[in-house]
Amino acid sequence: MKITFYGHNTLLIEVNGKNILVDPFVTGNPLVKDKINIETIKVDYILLTHAHQDHVLDAEVIAKNNNATIVSNYEIATYYQNLGITVHPMNHGGKWTFDFGEVKYVNAIHTSSFADGTYGGQPGGFVIDGGNKTIYIAGDTALTMDMKLIPMAYNIDLAILPIGDNFTMGIDDAIIASDFVACNEVLGVHYDTFGYIEIDHDRAKKKFSEKSKNLILLEITDSIEL
């Protein structure tokens, strides 16, 4: 499994011969827009954690360019289905086996609406079990006790957690979240994109290290392999 960071909460995941894009927000991200051309992104699936613009801005264009399937909650899936896009609707607690592996839609505490005010259902996160490796994508969320349910069903190899604070968990809560999901390898997301969520990278890494955890902060377009 290969994971490439496209800024904010946008990730390209390559697993079992398929490309999965999470929360595409490229053209509106000042840290990314000159580094990535969305017209060249090749994907089979797009996973959306919730409907906020900084997570779905480029979903329609990329999905139509690739004839990709959008996977999200029922309300978001219906929104894109009405735009002529292939979708797979899910809801909290449900799982489905795709051709790249198993996906479970798990709880998140946040809000969810499209930029035009359309209701975006309840936000969520994803557990992706690719067979050899399993990751947890928290999406935008507060720290929640529901995270403790995840390691009861999965052994998580990498937890992808928001760390920017203000709109989501910050560093301290993300450390607790990594305890809850029983995973000491954390990929930080949802930070630095705009002023409210700028972080001190060295301080963040030190705080994780002091708890015997590894915080990975990737440069845009850099990758890790599991």
Q: What mean pLDDT is reported for the chain? A: 98
Handedness of CA 92, 215, 100, 112 (dihedral sign): positive
Q: Is the pLDDT of residue 207 over 80?
A: yes
- Cross-strand bridge partners of residue 128: 103, 135
- Band of residue 34 on the pLDDT scale cut at 50, 70, 90: confident
Q: Is the pLDDT of residue 35 over 80?
A: yes
Task: Provide the residue type at 74 as one letter.
Answer: Y
Note the pLDDT tens digit of each residue in 76-88: 999 999 999 999 9
- Band of residue 152 on the pLDDT scale cut at 50, 70, 90: very high
Nearest to 126 by CA among 41, 21, 39: 21
Alpha helices by DSSP H, 73-165: 74-81
How far apart CA 148 and CA 154 sit, in angstroms, is 11
**Burial of 104 from C-beta contacts in 10 A (0-12 / 13-18 / 19+):** buried
Q: Is the pLDDT of residue 33 over 80?
A: no
Average pLDDT score over residue span 150-160: 98
Average pLDDT score over residue span 172-192: 98
Distances (CA, A) of 139 to 13, 51, 190, 223: 15, 11, 9, 19
